[in-house]
Each structure stands twice: as C-alpha cells, then as structure tokens.
Structure 1
Amino acid sequence: MQSIPEHAFTTDRPTTLRRARSPVAFLPEVVGVAPDRDGAALVDIAIADGRVASVAPAGSGPALPGDVDLGGRHLWPTLVDVHAHLDKGHIVERTPNPDGTHFGALTATAEDRTRFWRRDDLIRRMEFGLACAEAHGVSAIRTHLDSQEEQGPETWAAFGEVSVAWKNRVALQAVALAPMDIFRGPYAEQLADIVAETGGLMGGVTRATGSRIEDGLADLDALLDRLFALASDRDLDVDLHVDETNYAAGATLPDIARATIRNGYEGRVTCGHCCSLALQDEATLAEHVRLVRDAGISIVTLPTVNMYLQDRQAGRTPRWRGVTPVTELRAAGVRVAVAGDNCRDPFYAYGDHDMLDTFRQGVKILHLDHPYGDAAALAGPAPAAIMGLSDHGAIRPGAPASFIVMNAWSMDQVLARPQSDRIVVRNGRRLAGGLPSYATLVAAEPGRPTEHAAA
C-alpha cells in the first residue's frame, strides 16, 4: 500500500486528497459515488485556505499542486461528542467508586465534588479532557455540568473561562445537570439565568436529590413544566438524563415526551441514556417510541458507560447490556447519536474522550454491523445536528478541512484496531503534539500524596 507522503497536511497550498474512503453518511452533498459493501465511497477532496473547496467522486477532483493520494484509506471528519461530563473527568484515582454501581458513583462523585471542585481543579481537569479529545479528533463537545445550588455557579464560571480559552479548538456547549427537585425552589431561576448568560441548555436528571431513579417523583409533570417554562422564557433548548436504570415500569421518557408536546418544545429536546426502554415489552416500546418521534426528541445512547454501570451486582455476571434500542428508534425516524459520557470518574473508570473508540465499541455493543449501513452517522451528522453545528461531523464544501485519516481500508479494519496511529488534521494542517501526559494532570491533583505524584 502507498504510504502517505511526508509533506501531506504540512503546508497551506491548495491540495486535493485523492481516493479518500469515507462512509457516505459523512458525505451529504456528494452525488454519483458508488458505495462499497461497508457503505463507504472513494472521493477526491479539494482543500484551500484550510477549508473544503469541493468533494467529488474519485478521479474527478481538480489537479492541484499539493495533491496527495490516500490510496483508499478511510478519512473521516472530526467527530462530535454530544454527551460528556468534563467537570467530573479524571477523578477516579482520588475518589474511586466503591463498588462500580450507579449508586456508588453518585456517592463518590458527591464526595469528590464537595472536597475538591473549585476553580483551579475544574479548569485543570476540563482542559486535560479537551486536550485528549482534540488529539483523538473530536472537534465539538456538549458537556453536562453538575449544577446543584452549592456547586453550579462555580462550575459554570470555570466552564466559561475554559470556553473562551478553547473557542478556536473545540466547539463547546454546556447543559445544567441537577436532580429535578431543584425546580421546586427559587434556585432554579438563578440557574436558568446562569445558563442563559453562558449560552447553554437547561437540563436535569429525572430523580430527586439523594434518591434512586426507581423511587419516582410524584410531581414530575409539574417539575417538567417549570423546567420548560424557564427554558422557554430564555429561549433555551433542553437536554435531560433519563431512565438510567433497569426499572422499566417507572420509565419517565413518555412523561418527558408528553411535557415536550404540552409546552410546544417539539424538536428542541434531547434525552440521554434511556436504558430501561430496552426492557419494555414490544407493545409498550412501540408506544413510547412513537411518543418520542411525535415530540421530535433526539436520543443519545452511551453504550460504554451503561454497560459498565447497569446490572452490576457483586458476584454475578450482568444479564443485559444497559443500552437503549437504537435500531427501533432509528427505524421510527428518531434522531439517535452515540456519545462518550463519563471518562475516568466514578461513573466510568476508563475512557479517553475518544469518539472514534466510542463508535468502534458502539457498533459492536449495539450490533450496528452486517451491514454497517449509515451507522457512522451516529458519531458525526446526528450529534452535529443535535448541537446545531453545520460545520462539524460531515465532509462538505465550505466546512473546515478537519479530518481523521486512518491506516484502514475497510470498516472491519477501522473496528479491529484502536487506530492509535491515526492522523488528525485541523483546518488543513496536521495536528501536532499528541495526547497530554497523565503526569501534567496527576502531579497537581489536590489530595494526592506527594510520593504518588508523577515526575
């Protein structure tokens, strides 16, 4: 196989990337291509001034001075992580989950938040996470931020600083995350103002403070209506954590769908997790999927984290995957995205803010193969549309020339290896520097004994 020339992605001169292979899901404006068995096609991509000038079937792109023949390698747009937790990330070593369960994660995170979540700690960990994401080829992230009354103002202020520092590197959005009972009190108004000032989204998790989701909320409809009223008054979209449990009988997703319609918020709501949807009987599932579709709700599945948390019991092998029924939702016309969720925190002890890895695992976990079809849309066009970002998640004229180039010529090769030798291109130039060292994070971590600090 022909190697990529040394000069590729190192100059600003106009270039045509010849015979780049990309899933057609990433090529919304290209006509006349012949997809291969994986749903990918060979294209020529012309680049000028750091942006995509044209995308055409292979062999028909313009001849330019810096042409590079990729020889059929997979080239993807930089990817979009529509559900992350940058404020929680990288605390697992100082405050581990005691038993790996969801409730254990809640307890450990609350402890760490109370002890350590101050400006410098938040900014250091958020920026470390962003540096990892950028190096892996992620160009946009929506992060949920813990926004309880005692924490919210400080976290949102820190996020505001990070957003300014990273505005030309990773597109950022933030969502207010807190138990729904905050909408019973006056703090909800203050939080909504903070969110509006930052250009974020209203959100929450459908349980009460200190309780489990299966405990339920007798006044959920009223709390949802107040959330929507606060959002509507400030023209804010909504993104909720929903039914992250195996308690199918107490699913709150249909309540959210009805509240969305009741408040005229169709097309402006995203729901993440929705795990218990997979445990409903077929008739109930079909009914709830129709409700979600009619409400125009987008769904985000978090396969790696929910396989880690759901159905975990000591001394027992888990019996179910903990992920939402993606195939049924997509078949009904519901927009679905896959996302990374937590990273090295009590909710998920692993991860590296790598959406390509999330996609690779998601395909296997969710059986989005044989054939692959348009599965790649879940990591690019779908989350970009949810975030309202037309310049991300696809390869189209006018978009930034920001790509992930792999030494893989078929989708099974993309999935078989971690692609640790990928080339990340941003605005037409190869990204330099690589992944940040854990040493830069750990050495300054509060509460860590000096003898364990990295040199």
Structure 2
Amino acid sequence: MDQTSPKRRIADLLDGRSAGVLTRARVPAALLAAPPSGEIEVDRDGAALVDLVIAGGTIGAVRPAGRVAADDAVDLGGRHLWPLLVDVHAHLDKAHILDRAPDSGGTHPGARAATSADRVAHWRRDDLLRRMDFALACADAHGVAAIRTHLDSHEGQAETTWAAFAEIRARWEGRIALQSVGLVPLDAYGTDHGRVLADLIATHDGLMGGVTRASGGTHGEGLDDIDALLDRLFRLAKERDLDIDLHVDEAAKANALPHVARATIRHGYEGRVTCGHCCSLALLPEAEARERIALIADAGLSIVTLPAVNLYLQDREAGRTPRWRGVAPVEELRAAGIRVAVAGDNCRDPFYAYGDHDMLDTWRQAVRILQLDHPYGDATALAGPVPAAMMGLEAGTLGAGRPADFMILEAWSLDQVIARPQADRVIVRAGAVSSAALPSYSTLHRDGAFPRVASGA
C-alpha cells in the first residue's frame, strides 16, 4: 500500500462496494471479540496479525493473516487497526466553556465556582446544543464509538439540560451511542428535588448519579449522613430499575468509597454501580488499600480512572510542584478482578483546560501516566471492551458480525501508537471511510460568546 496515502486506497476499496478485504492488519488481542487462535501470529506487544473481510458494512470474518485470498485486497502491511473506542465518563454539558468562564486557577474548588457561574449565566438550550454538538463532532472525527456523559442536574437546570441532551442524542443516533447520568451533590437526594430528578432520569433512560460530597463542599468533608443519603439514592434507583454512576473520593483524603461499596451490597446492586475518580484510594497504606479493594470486589463495583484530568487537578498548589498523579491504583484493582476503564472526563472547561474528545489520545496518556507498559499486556482493553461492557454495548472490539467500525493507524507497534498523536488515522464507519473533519473553534463563538480578553488588552 502507498505509505503516503493509505486513506485513498482504503476508500477506493470500501466505498460503494458490498465487500472488501483488509489483509495483514495488526490488532491488539484485547480488542478482538474472540481470542486469537494458535494459528494467529501475536507480536511481543500482544497484537495479532489478521485479515478482515468486510461485507455490507459489517465484519464478515477475522482470519489469521494470509488466509484470505482476494484480488482487490488492501495490504495494510502490519499497520495497527483498532475498533472505535469508548469514553465511559465525560461531561458534554460543561465542555468548551473555558474561553468565557471565570478563571479557576486550576483547582477543584475554583473549577466548581467557575462552572457554577457559567451555568447560571449561559446554560440555555441553544448554548448546550451548540457545545455538545461541537464536542460530538470532535469525537466523531477522532473515532469514538460511544460516550457516557454526566449532566449537571441541579434544581432549576436539570430539565433544560436533559431536554437538550435528548435532542442531541437523537441528532447523533447511529453515529455515536450516548448515555447520560444525573450529576448532583449527594445531599440533593435528601431533598424533594432528588425524587423529581430520579423521575426525569428514568424518563430519559439514564443512570442515577451524583458526587460524594455536600453541596458547596469538598470530597471528604460535610457528609456525616452519607449512608442515609446513599440509601435514599439506591432506593430511588431501585424503584426505577436504574443503574448508578458516581463521582467518588476525588481528593487526596476522602473516605466515601467503602460507604458506596457497602450500600451496593446492602441494596443488592452488585454489578450495577460505577465509581469514577477514586483518587484517594492510591494514597492509602498498603494493608488498608488491600482491604478496601477486597470490599470493592465484593460489591462488584466498576472503577473509572480519569488520568489526564486528575493529573491536572489533584495536588495543585500555587508555587509548589505536585507530588502525586491523582489516579486510582489501576494495577491493584485489576489484579483483584475489578473492572477498570480509563476515560476522558472534562474537555476545555474549568475542570480541565485541554482535551479534544479523543479517546485514543486519552489512552496514550493513560499508558504513560499509569505506566501500563513493559509489557503492555491487555492495556488497550481499558479504552475498548471494558468501558463498552460498563455501558452494556458491543462496541470497542472487532469480530465477525460486528459493525465495520474501526481506525487504521500509521503505526506498526504500540510504542509507535503512543509516540505520535496519530492525527493521520483513517476512520471507517459501517465499512466506509469517514469524511468527518474536526470542527472549527469559530463555530463556538456565535451570539457574542467570544474568548475572554485579558484586562488592559
């Protein structure tokens, strides 16, 4: 294949045809729906060399390389080919307000205050639709298959945001699968708004959610009645048969996670609860950490770590270099049989000033931050089949009968995947090369919502 223009060759093969073959594609074994057979060559990174038969927008077969004969096959020459990836923890309603929101100072309290100010000032239907649509256009261009987004659901805001999300989900149906989670401080479930919100979430087929801190408070403080509040949340979820996804212990010192685990067991919700962040778990003494991880396993909790965002937020003090990374202890959790995923979290908002809704980039950062290498093993699963399973989807893997949704990278090894941003990746959806391009930031700046200007400029 012409190394300078893979997209054109792939487009010529797939576009407008009912079938085609891609030979010598290198796929991490963890991203195959079925484990590679003994006949398939697997490299030292754990990636298998396979041929893919594409038919009618689906994958007809995945075979050992060299087993499929076709005159018009495209030989990928051992390039990496991945399924489209899954972002199981995002905040589409917050995204891309950084240009106009007050400066947060890069701290968690500052981010809460800045986001609250922007929400009150701007979060109306058109604003939410414009920013969420922009975010999804970015994700589409980068090759994201599915997103679970948390939605700020404070009293007076929830109805507007959930209605806008319903519009955007319908608009993107068939391209990116979307799920939504109600996000409020946990003490909101002790008020009348808690039941109103639960009904709203059920109407939109969402998930119950929240953050394990009090309104206006910080993680680890102000929730002496946490067990009663969790019982209230779980009862509301159980009455409506809704799964739960919580922000938990996003701080160096916090202790809500064991309360969540015990509430999960108490209400028979094992396997239906996801906990994001869990930063403080990494700083516990070893014996205490092992005990807590065993409790998490007993409760069947799923854990999502957000490496880029928590690296940005945690342990930030003016004039002081941070001392820790802010991530959950992924290796120890996985060793205990606990389902763990990495996800993107915030994007260009006061909680995280950067990002572009690119799960491949998120995974590349996660490998470096969490040291998921030497060997890589099944680290790719954290951005593919594991978050897909959390969402109840068949995304994030390649296999016979699955949609022909994948990306082709100009890389022949996992270190090459990580070393470059893969800006020249080829995105294929339903067997056809995608023409989706990244949207211009200028589309965010209508109606006077222009970037802020420094005083005196």
Common fold, TM-score beyond 0.5? yes
Q: How many residues align?
A: 446
Correspondent of 2:17 among 9, 12, 15: 12
SS at match of 2:402: coil
Shift of 1:185: 1.1
Matches within 5 A, 1:22-41: 22-29=27-34, 30-32=36-38, 33-41=40-48
Structure 2 Cα separation of the partners of residues 449 and 212 of structure 1: 28
Structure 1 Cα separation of the partners of residues 268 and 67 of structure 2: 47
Correspondent of 1:214 among 217, 220, 236: 220
- Contact 1:9 / 1:425 at 8 angstroms: preserved in 2? no
Matches within 5 A, 1:252-401: 252-390=256-394, 392-401=395-404
Could you say which residue in structure 1 is the equivalent of 2:442?
439
Structure 2 Cα separation of the partners of residues 11 and 41 of structure 1: 29
Query: Structure 1's 409 and 449: CA in aligned 2 closer, same or farther, altered over 3 A?
Result: closer
Structure 2 Cα separation of the partners of residues 424 and 433 of structure 1: 9
Shift of 1:8: 3.6
Structure 1: 4+ residue segments shifted above 6 A: none
Instruction: Return the letter of the residue paired with 1:362.
Output: A
SS at match of 1:213: coil
Structure 2 Cα separation of the partners of residues 140 and 433 of structure 1: 16
Correspondent of 2:51 among 16, 33, 44: 44
Could you say which residue in structure 2 is the equivalent of 1:71?
77
CA RMSD of aligned residues (A): 1.4
Structure 1 Cα separation of the partners of residues 14 and 231 of structure 2: 51
Could you say which residue in structure 2 is the equivalent of 1:453?
none
Structure 1 Cα separation of the partners of residues 396 and 72 of structure 2: 25
Could you say which residue in structure 2 is the equivalent of 1:86?
92
Structure 2 Cα separation of the partners of residues 331 and 283 of structure 1: 15
Greater Cα offset, 138-147 or 51-60: 51-60
Structure 1 Cα separation of the partners of residues 410 and 451 of structure 2: 39
- Contact 1:14 / 1:64 at 8 angstroms: preserved in 2? no
Shift of 1:100: 0.7
Structure 1 Cα separation of the partners of residues 86 and 232 of structure 2: 30
Query: Structure 1's 449 and 106: CA in aligned 2 closer, same or farther, altered over 3 A?
Result: closer
Q: What are the superposed Cα offsets for residues 376-421 of structure 1, whole Å, 9 maximum, x if unpaired?
A: 000000000000001x100011111011101000000000000000
- Contact 2:18 / 2:57 at 8 angstroms: preserved in 1? no
Shift of 1:12: 2.6
Shift of 1:97: 3.2
Structure 2 Cα separation of the partners of residues 445 and 394 of structure 1: 43
Q: What are the superposed Cα offsets for residues 62-97 of structure 1, whole Å, 9 maximum, x if unpaired?
A: x34642111100000000000000000000010143
SS at match of 1:17: strand
Q: Is 1:427–2:433 an aligned residue pair?
A: no
- Contact 1:13 / 1:65 at 8 angstroms: preserved in 2? no
Query: Structure 1's 106 and 284: CA in aligned 2 closer, same or farther, altered over 3 A?
Result: same
Shift of 1:178: 0.4
Shift of 1:282: 0.4
**What percent identity do the matched residue pairs reach?**
62
- Contact 1:121 / 1:445 at 8 angstroms: preserved in 2? no
TM-score (norm 1): 0.96
- Contact 1:14 / 1:66 at 8 angstroms: preserved in 2? no
Structure 2 portions without partners, runs of 5+:
none
Shift of 1:214: 2.5
- Contact 1:38 / 1:373 at 8 angstroms: preserved in 2? yes
Instruction: Return the letter of the residue paired with 2:267.
Output: N
Q: Is 1:159–2:165 an aligned residue pair?
A: yes
Q: Is 1:417–2:424 an aligned residue pair?
A: no
Shift of 1:447: 6.5
- Contact 1:12 / 1:429 at 8 angstroms: preserved in 2? no
Shift of 1:216: 3.4
Correspondent of 1:408 among 397, 406, 411: 411
Instruction: Return the letter of the residue paired with 1:168.
Output: G
Could you say which residue in structure 2 is the equivalent of 1:21?
26
Instruction: Return the letter of the residue paired with 2:78.
Output: G
Shift of 1:139: 1.1
Shift of 1:60: 1.5
Could you say which residue in structure 2 is the equivalent of 1:194?
200
Shift of 1:157: 0.6
- Contact 1:12 / 1:50 at 8 angstroms: preserved in 2? no
Q: What are the superposed Cα offsets for residues 200-237 of structure 1, whole Å, 9 maximum, x if unpaired?
A: 00000000111111213011001111111111111100
- Contact 1:14 / 1:65 at 8 angstroms: preserved in 2? no
Query: Structure 1's 70 and 255: CA in aligned 2 closer, same or farther, altered over 3 A?
Result: same
Could you say which residue in structure 1 is the equivalent of 2:110?
104
Query: Structure 1's 444 and 44: CA in aligned 2 closer, same or farther, altered over 3 A?
Result: farther
SS at match of 1:53: strand
